[in-house]
Every structure is written in C-alpha cells, then in structure tokens.
Amino acid sequence: MQLFAVTAILTMSSCSNDFLNTSPVTEATTENFYKIPSEAFQGLVAVYDALQQGGDAWGGSLLTSEMASDNCFMGFGSLDGKTVQNEWDRFLPEPSLEINNAVWKTNYLGIARANILLEHLNQVNWGSDTALRTQYEAEAKFLRAYFHFELARTFGDIIPLDHTIKTTDNTLPRVDAATTYALIASDLKFAVDNLGNDNYSTPNNPKYGRITKWAAETYMAKVYLFYTGYYNKPDLAGVVTQAQATTYINDVINNSGHALIPDFSQLWVASAASSTTNILHTYAGEGNTEDIFAIRYANIGKGDWNLHDGNRLVVNIAPRGGGVGVYANGWGAGTVNPALVAAYEAGDTRKAASFIDFVGEGLTYDPNATAITQSQYTGYSWKKYCPVNTNSTSLVGITTANGGNFQVDNYEDIVILRFADALLLAAELNITSNPGFAQTCLDRVRDRAFGGVTTHRVVVSKTTILNERRLELALEGNRYYDLLRQGLAVAKAAIDKTDSTNDPNTGFNVTFRPETLGWFRIPQTQILLSAGAIKQNPGW
C-alpha cells in the first residue's frame, strides 16, 4: 500500500499573501522542525497544499463522479484512449489497472501530512497562545476527515489512519466502513467544537481560504446523509445522531453569515462572461458570501508542471480544439447529457449558467473537424468551471495572456461547499422534525433559480430535494454520490442508457453494474504493495 514514507516536505508562502498560493521551497525533517508556531503553520499549509493536488482531473472526484453519473459522458477526443470511457463512464474493467491511483495517492498524501502535523503539535513552543494550537489541530482534523471521505466514497472500505505511517501499515487490510466513518465524524466534531464563529469568505481577510466551523458543520451534514443513506444506518457510525447533524446544519443556515448571492450566473467566470460584455461587473468573485469551503488556485506556476498552484481540472472540460467565443481551449471531457439540460423548467436561470449550448448560443463549432475530433458530442459542455478568453474575438485565454500555461495554471477555485448546498442539506435533514423550515430552505434555492419569482415552488419532500440537488449542483461533483445513497437500483435506473447507434467510439451505451456496489477499482499497484492484504472491490 503506497501510503508514502513521507518526511516533512513543507511548503511556505510565496510572494503572494494569499493563504494557499504556495510553492515548495525547502525540506526539513520532523526531528529538527516543529519548534515554534510559524513552523507549525508551514506544516498546516503543507496539509492544505494536498487539496490543490487533489484538484487535478485524475486526483479528485469531481470529474470522475460526473462522468460516472447520469450528468455526463466521457467526451475527450475520438482518437484518445478509451480507458476513461470504459472505466468511469461505462463501468467496464479496463486493461490499464492504474486509472484510480492518483486519487488514492493524493488523499493518502493529505492524510499523512495531517498526521505528521497532529503528532508534532505538542513539541511546538506555543507560549501562552494555546488557542492557536487548538485551531491548527481543528483545521488539520477537518482536512484529515475530508481526505478520508474522498477515499471512502470512491473505494468503499479503506484503511483509515490516525497516526503517522509505520512500516507495518503497508500490509494492513481494509476495514469496515463504520470504523472509517467513526474517525471522520470524530475529526469533524472536533473541528466544529473548536473553531470559532469567524466567516473568512472575503479575500482581504488574513484567514481567507482556511477551514471554518461553518465548513465543518456543513461537511458533517453531507457525510451524515451519505453514510446513513448508503449503508442504511440510523446515525453516523455511532458518533453523530440525526438530531446533532440537523443542529449543525441549522446553525450554518441561521448563524454563519453565508448567504445566496442574488444571481446564480455570477458564481462562475464563464457563466458571468457569457451573459455580459464585462465580466468584472457581474462575476461575484472568489470568496463570495455563498462559498463556504473551496480549494484555492492561482496563476503563479507559470508553466511549472512540478507545482500544483493552478487548477488542472478546468482544461479537461473546456471546449475541445480551440477557443469558442468567450470559452477558452480545452480537451472536451465530460460532454453533458442532453437529458440533464432538458430537466430544467422554462425560466430556470441555472440552465444557461451551467452549460455551454453550442447551437443555442450561436457558436461556430464543428466537433468532427480535424483539429477537434470531439468524442460523444452532445451539443452541450460545462460552463461551470470553464476557463475564458480575454474577449470573444481574440480567443486568447486569460491564463495564457497572464503568462501561464493553459493546462496547469488556470486560477478558478473549485468550490466544495456553498450555501445553496447547505440549504438543501438542511431541507433534507429537517423534513420530519421541522418541515416548515425544510420548505423555507428549499424555497430559497428555487426562488433564486427563477430570478426571485416565487411561483415555481414545489412541496418539500426527499424526492423534490434530491431533484433540486441535481439541478442546483450539476457539474459540482455531487450527483453520483446522491444516487448511490438512494440505493444501487436507483443509481442503475438513472445511469443506464441505451444508444441505438452503439458506435464503440462515439456511442452512448452505459450500463451501471450493481455488482461493483458503486465503488471504483482499487489500483493494482496498491494491491501488490500490500502483499495481497488489500483485496480488489467486487465486480472488478
């Protein structure tokens, strides 16, 4: 099991004052480090830094889960290898056995860095500032929970680690889900109990970008609903009850200071750019009041592939084969299922803000052109997270215009938790105990979607909430897991698609295989390194 024999590879702040705009600049060992608070801070930044590496297309769950869900197909180029299409989009075993190795390695790297810091907090001379020690512990534990949850909802049973890696850990078997989720819940509970009421959702805040109590409470609700739904359990691994999870998420809604921004289209750069001639007047910007927790990126690597300061996801989902209008160049992954686009009612502003409609927007685009060769073209691609050009005629990406490489230096943050998600989590958790509040939470999301018009409200129920989650959070990495927690039969009914053309390269046949239990294949490298202690997931 490649959990990394990690020494303290530490990252320190670059010339930017932004918290996560970091670059590795030095190495130190745990024996001569962690003596003063500033060194503990560098260790904490190293834990955050693993989030940026997880934002790679192959290191995180956003693109993977969207392809696996009924929201998207594989896409990419018709001449590209079909490993991604077969394994993530079509649930077929692929001869390449390592496609999921990046998500395994990246998240265990984050766990390892968190454990190194946590085990050395007591050797730091904190002086009288014991509150700072507690804050660092709470942030590190939230991040450790985040990395564990990414692994658990990708692979099912995993090896939870609450300590630095020992040689004997390399041959540990996977454990039952309850053990992992008990650690996740305990870590999140510590974060909730020990982080203050601050809201860092403005870029000029010196703590902007860091974990807050509100992020921990929201994430607890998300973890609770997935675990209790998928595993059919009455509570979160015996650590958090439904009443507690409900209290946490209600605290976010009522007391966090987070709120919906008035216009949905202002949440993403490309959505704003496509609705006006001046995006500076409409884009809400990173760190707006709706963002509860985001992975932060910056265009400071300037083409250095060894750094992970830039967002490497967005180039994959941008239009393939050259810039189109305001939309910058990319590889055309995750072509959007027309059934998702058709699910939006007339007047729902989220439709135009979420998807590029090549025909509807009058874009000149030939998916079969030699320079493009788009696979599984549906007429729709991602507007959320799509990088943009400086203007619609120059076709020069903003990233490139500012000296960056369009593949690795895109700057838009990946938002993990936003207030609309919190409202829908609250609606779901309050259905029985406080249906009036649940209805209000759902109404707030739908009212914003229709520009403040209240005539599109629906009666709150689990069905209407989950449908709203699909529409509100499309292309944000939630749909696949929302399907799984409703049961494998529900997931199969939603995901399966029969295509009459059945073209092996461009067709759309998808058959979800319940025998996999919804989990992805464990990398063969990890099975071999564990000397067989790790067993492959069923169905693979």
pLDDT tens digits along 481-503 = 999 999 999 999 999 998 766 55
pLDDT at 17: 33
Beta bridge partners of 324: 327
pLDDT at 172: 93
Q: Collapsing DSSP states into helix, strand and coil, what is residue 513?
A: coil
Q: Rounded to whole angstroms, how far apart are CA atoms 40 and 29?
A: 13
Angle in degrees, CA 140, 136, 138, rounded to 5: 55
pLDDT at 13: 32
Q: Rounded to whole angstroms, how far apart are CA atoms 257 and 356?
A: 32
pLDDT, greater one: 176 or 407: 176
Q: Tens digit of pLDDT for each residue in 518-531?
A: 999 999 999 999 99
Work out the pLDDT band at 244, boundaries 50, 70, 90.
Answer: very high
Q: Tens digit of pLDDT for each residue in 122-159?
A: 999 999 999 999 999 999 999 999 999 999 999 999 99
pLDDT at 26: 47
Q: Rounded to whole angstroms, how far apart are CA atoms 147 and 70?
A: 25
Share of the chain above pLDDT 90, in %: 69
Evaluate if residue 5 carries a pLDDT over 90. no
Work out the pLDDT band at 18, boundaries 50, 70, 90.
Answer: very low
Domains of the chain listed by start with CATH number: 1-175+503-540 (1.25.40.390), 202-296+413-477 (1.25.40.10), 310-412 (no CATH)
pLDDT at 286: 85
User: Contact 52/14 with Cβ under 8 angstroms?
Assistant: no
User: Contact 431/460 with Cβ under 8 angstroms?
Assistant: yes
φ/ψ (deg, to 5) at 419: -65, -30
Q: How many helices, marked H, and strands, marked E, lie in the chain?
A: 19, 6
Mean pLDDT of all residues in the chain? 89
User: pTM for the whole thing?
Assistant: 0.92
Evaluate if residue 432 carries a pLDDT over 90. yes
Residue 295 parent element (H or E) = strand 291-295
Return the DSSP state at 490.
H
Q: Tens digit of pLDDT for each residue in 207-219?
A: 888 999 999 999 9
For residues 180-207, average pLDDT: 92
User: Contact 517/156 with Cβ under 8 angstroms?
Assistant: yes
pLDDT at 277: 53
pLDDT at 95: 74
Evaluate if residue 349 carries a pLDDT over 60. yes
pLDDT at 2: 44
φ/ψ (deg, to 5) at 16: -75, 150
pLDDT at 281: 53
Output Rg (C-alpha) for the chain, integer angstroms: 22
pLDDT at 85: 67
pLDDT at 390: 84
Residue 13 parent element (H or E) = strand 11-13
Interhelix angle for 419-429 vs 213-230, to 10°?
A: 50
Residue 11 parent element (H or E) = strand 11-13
For residues 260-285, average pLDDT: 82
